C-alpha cells in the first residue's frame, strides 16, 4: 500500500502562518561517506510514481521524491520539505503552501509551482488517466489546487475531512514535464526510471539484481537538514529469502535487514553475532502492519459470511505463532493493528475451532456426496466442489499455509497452494483473477481512514479493495468518520467499522507483530535504535 503515515496537525497551528525548523535528530557532523547496502527484497513492479502501489516501489521513491512537508520521525509533527511555509484557514477548508526556491529536478530542470498542481491534478483525473485509483479516496474532498503566485499554491476542500491537511501536506511531487501526456515510449521508460528532487538520484537499475542510488550534491537538505541522509551511495539488493539475506549480512554484502521472528531467534547465532553483526529488538509507536489471507468475496465459495468464518476457524494461528513466530507476534483480530486506538478492544477474534467450522459447513449445505472426501454442493444447478487455490508471493510463508491446508483437508476442503512471482501476483490482484491470496498491509497512518481498502467505492478501477468487499453499514460509518473532526468521536465510529469488518470475516486476519526486529553490521553508526515513530536509518552513517 503506497501511503505516507499521516496524523492530525496540532490544533495550535490551525490558523497561523507556520514556518517550523526541523528538530535536530541526527548528528550534524556525520560524514557523507560509504555505500549503504540495503535489502529491498524484491524488485518494484514499477517505479512510476503515480501508478505504483507496492511497498517496494514506495521504499525506493522515498529516497528520490519529496512531498510539500515531511513528518518528524520522533515527534510526528509536520516539518518543511519542498514547502517552507504553510497556512490553514480558520474554517479549515483552505491550505496554502509556499514553495522553496531554487530547487531542481535531478535532470536539471527547475521545480515549479506547476509541478505541484500537476501532481494533484494527476491523482484526481476523472478518467483515471494516470492509474491513481489507489490514491483517489484521500483526495476526493479536495476540489482544486489553485496557483496563487510563482511559489504559492492553495488547496481548497469541498468539505471538512479530518485528514484534508495531512493529505495535501504529504502530496508527493512529480515532474510535470515527464508525466504529463507521455507517449508509449516514455510510459515504458517511467516504469524503470525515476526523477525527483530528493536526497538521492537513481544511478543504475539492473533488473533482477539491484538498484543503485547516489547522493544528490544539489539537495537543499544538505544545508537545511544536516545529519540526515549520510550515505554517499545506497545499493538496494533483491534478496527474497530471509536465510540468504542473513548470510549476506554476515558476509558484509548487506548492512541492514528486517528480521522475521523465526530468523531473529534461530538464525542470528554464531561467532560473528555480537561482534561484526548485531540483532536488535525494539518497540515504538509506528503503525504496525498485519498479514492476512483474503477471499475473493465475489467467488461463489466465499460470498457467504458464515463460510468465511468457517475458514477462519480452520486457521490455527496460535500454533503458527508458537512454532514459527516464537510468540513475538500476536493473533490479529480485525482490519488494523491491535495497538491502535481505533481497534475495538472488545473484539475477541475468531479462534481455531474445526468442530465449529464443520457445523457451519453442514448448515450451509456442504456434504461429501460422492465419497471423494471433498465437500460439494449444488449451486445454480451445478455440482461445486469446495476446492480453491491460494496465491502466495513468498516461499517462506508456504509452511503456514501448509498447516491450514492439512486442517482444511480434515474438514473436507481441498486447498491448493501456488507460489506466484511478485509482478505476476500484483497483476492478478489488479485483474481480480484469484480465489484466495495471502498478503500483508503496511501500517498506514496513525489516524485510521479505512476507505482505501474497505469502502465499496474502492473496488473499481484498480482500487485497493481488490477482494470486492461491500457493506452498506461500513460504507456509511466510514463516510461519517471522515467528516468527524473530533478524534474521540471518530474513534467510536471507527471502532464500529473495525468490529463490523472483523465479524464479516472478509480476510483471515493473521498476525500483528509486537516488536521491530532488525539486523545490522558493525559498519553502521546509529544515533538511536529507534525513534518514537520509526527506526530512523536515514540518520545513521557508515564508519570510515
Residue 79 in any domain: the answer is yes
Predicted confidence (pLDDT) per residue in 127-145, tens digit: 888 888 788 888 989 999 9
Handedness of CA 97, 99, 100, 105 (dihedral sign): positive
Predicted confidence (pLDDT) per residue in 475-495, tens digit: 999 999 999 999 999 999 999
Q: What confidence category does residue 172 fall into, taking pLDDT thresholds of 50, 70 and 90?
A: very high
Residue 395 carries which DSSP code?
G
Scan for cell 491446508, then name that residue. 405
Residue ending a domain, choose from 172, 201, 230: 201
For the segment 159-179, the average pLDDT, to the nearest whole number, is 94
Q: How far apart are the first and last CA of the chain?
A: 36
Residue ending a domain, choose from 166, 182, 201: 201
Number of structural domains (the chain) is: 2
CATH number reported for the structural domain that contains residue 129 in this entry: 3.90.76.10
Residue 195 in any domain: the answer is yes
Q: In terms of domains, do 313 and 184 share one?
A: no
Full-model pTM: 0.82
Predicted confidence (pLDDT) per residue in 246-262, tens digit: 999 999 999 999 999 99
Show the cell assigned to 454. 474497505
Q: In terms of domains, do 50 and 182 share one?
A: yes
Mean pLDDT of the chain: 92
- DSSP states of 1-56: -------PPPGGGTTSEE--PPPP-S-TT---EEEEEEE--S--S---TTT--SHH
Q: In terms of domains, do 178 and 307 share one?
A: no
Show the cell assigned to 472. 452498506
CATH number reported for the structural domain that contains residue 363 in this entry: 3.10.105.10
Predicted confidence (pLDDT) per residue in 431-449, tens digit: 999 999 999 998 888 899 9
Q: What confidence category does residue 23 fall into, taking pLDDT thresholds of 50, 70 and 90?
A: low
d(CA 228, CA 442) in angstroms, rounded, equals: 24
Q: In terms of domains, do 450 and 332 share one?
A: yes
Scan for cell 491513481, then name that residue. 132
Q: What confidence category does residue 9 fall into, taking pLDDT thresholds of 50, 70 and 90?
A: very low
Q: What angle do CA 231, 236, 242 make, to 5 degrees?
A: 120
Residue ending a domain, choose from 154, 181, 201: 201
Domain of residue 445: give its range. Answer: 290-513
Residue 45 in any domain: the answer is yes
Scan for cell 520522533, then name that residue. 74
What distances in angstroms separate CA 163 from CA 2, 91, 195, 467, one per listed residue? 16, 14, 28, 25
Residue 535 in any domain: the answer is no
Strand 172-173 relative to strand 256-258: parallel, antiparallel, unpaired? unpaired
d(CA 364, CA 303) in angstroms, rounded, equals: 12
d(CA 26, CA 528) in angstroms, rounded, equals: 9
**Percent over 70 (pLDDT), the chain:** 95
447-475 burial, b if ≥16 CB within 10 A, otherwise e? bbbbbbbbbbbbbeebbbbbbbbbbeebb
Q: Is the pLDDT of residue 18 over 70?
A: no
Show the cell assigned to 491. 474513534
d(CA 387, CA 404) in angstroms, rounded, equals: 14
Amino acid at each position: 500500500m503506497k501511503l505516507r503515515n499521516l496524523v492530525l496537525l496540532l490544533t495550535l497551528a490551525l490558523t497561523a502562518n507556520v514556518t517550523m525548523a526541523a528538530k535536530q535528530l541526527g548528528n550534524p557532523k556525520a560524514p557523507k561517506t560509504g555505500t549503504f547496502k540495503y535489502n529491498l527484497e524484491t524488485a518494484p513492479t514499477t517505479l512510476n510514481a503515480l501508478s505504483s502501489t507496492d511497498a517496494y516501489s514506495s521504499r525506493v521513491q522515498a529516497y528520490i521524491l519529496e512531498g510539500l512537508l515531511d513528518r518528524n520521525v520522533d515527534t510526528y509533527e509536520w516539518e518543511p520539505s519542498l514547502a517552507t511555509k504553510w497556512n490553514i484557514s480558520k474554517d479549515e477548508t483552505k491550505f496554502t503552501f509556499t514553495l522553496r526556491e531554487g530547487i531542481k529536478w535531478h535532470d536539471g530542470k527547475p521545480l515549479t509551482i506547476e509541478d505541484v498542481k500537476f501532481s494533484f491534478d494527476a491523482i484526481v483525473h476523472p478518467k483515471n488517466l494516470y492509474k491513481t485509483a489507489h490514491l483517489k479516496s484521500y483526495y476526493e474532498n479536495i476540489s482544486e489546487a489553485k496557483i496563487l503566485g510563482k511559489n504559492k499554491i492553495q488547496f481548497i476542500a469541498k468539505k471538512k475531512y479530518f485528514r484534508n491537511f495531512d493529505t495535501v501536506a504529504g502530496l508527493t511531487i512529480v515532474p510535470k514535464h515527464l508525466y504529463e501526456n507521455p507517449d508509449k515510449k516514455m510510459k515504458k521508460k517511467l516504469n524503470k526510471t525515476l526523477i525527483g528532487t530528493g536526497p538521492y538520484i537513481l544511478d543504475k537499475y539492473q533488473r533482477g539484481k539491484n538498484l543503485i542510488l547516489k547522493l544528490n550534491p544539489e539537495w537543499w537538505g544538505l544545508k537545511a537538514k544536516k545529519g540526515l541522509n549520510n550515505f554517499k551511495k545506497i545499493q538496494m539488493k533483491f534478496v527474497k529469502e530471509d536465510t540468504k539475506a542473513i548470510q549476506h549480512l554476515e558476509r558484509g554484502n548487506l548492512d541492514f535487514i528486517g528480521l522475521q521472528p523465526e530468523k531473529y531467534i534461530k538464525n542470528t547465532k554464531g561467532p560473528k553475532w555480537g561482534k561484526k553483526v548485531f540483532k536488535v529488538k525494539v518497540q515504538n509507536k509506528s503503525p504496525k502492519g498485519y498479514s492476512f489471507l483474503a477471499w475473493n468475496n465475489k467467488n461463489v465459495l466465499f460470498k457467504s459470511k458464515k463460510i468465511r468464518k468457517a475458514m477462519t476457524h480452520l486457521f490455527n494461528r496460535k500454533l503458527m505463532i508458537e512454532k514459527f513466530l516464537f510468540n513475538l507476534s500476536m493473533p490479529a483480530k480485525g482490519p488494523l493493528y491491535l495497538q491502535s486506538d481505533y481497534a475495538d478492544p472488545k473484539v475477541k477474534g475468531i479462534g481455531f475451532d474445526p468442530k465449529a467450522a464443520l457445523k457451519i459447513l453442514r448448515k450451509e449445505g456442504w456434504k461429501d456426496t460422492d465419497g471423494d472426501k471433498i465437500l460439494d454442493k449444488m449451486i445454480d444447478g451445478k455440482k461445486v466442489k469446495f476446492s480453491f487455490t491460494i496465491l502466495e508471493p513468498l516461499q517462506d510463508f508456504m509452511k503456514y499455509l501448509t498447516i491450514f491446508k492439512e486442517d482444511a483437508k480434515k474438514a473436507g476442503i481441498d486447498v491448493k497452494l501456488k507460489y506466484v512471482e511478485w509482478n505476476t501476483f500484483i497483476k492478478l490482484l489488479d485483474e481480480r483473477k484469484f480465489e484466495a491470496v495471502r498478503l500483508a498491509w503496511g501500517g498506514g497512518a496513525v489516524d485510521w481512514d479505512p476507505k482505501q481498502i474497505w469502502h465499496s467505492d474502492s473496488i473499481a478501477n484498480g482500487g485497493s479493495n481488490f477482494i470486492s468487499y461491500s457493506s452498506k453499514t461500513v460504507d456509511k460509518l466510514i463516510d461519517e468518520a471522515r467528516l468527524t473532526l473530533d478524534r474521540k468521536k471518530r474513534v467510536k465510529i471507527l471502532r464500529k467499522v473495525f468490529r463490523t469488518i472483523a465479524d464479516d470475516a472478509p480476510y483471515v486476519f493473521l498476525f500483528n507483530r509486537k516488536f521491530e526486529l532488525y539486523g545490522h553490521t558493525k559498519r553502521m553508526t546509529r544515533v538511536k535504535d529507534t525513534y518514537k515513530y520509526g527506526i530512523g536509518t536515514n540518520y545513521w552513517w557508515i564508519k570510515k
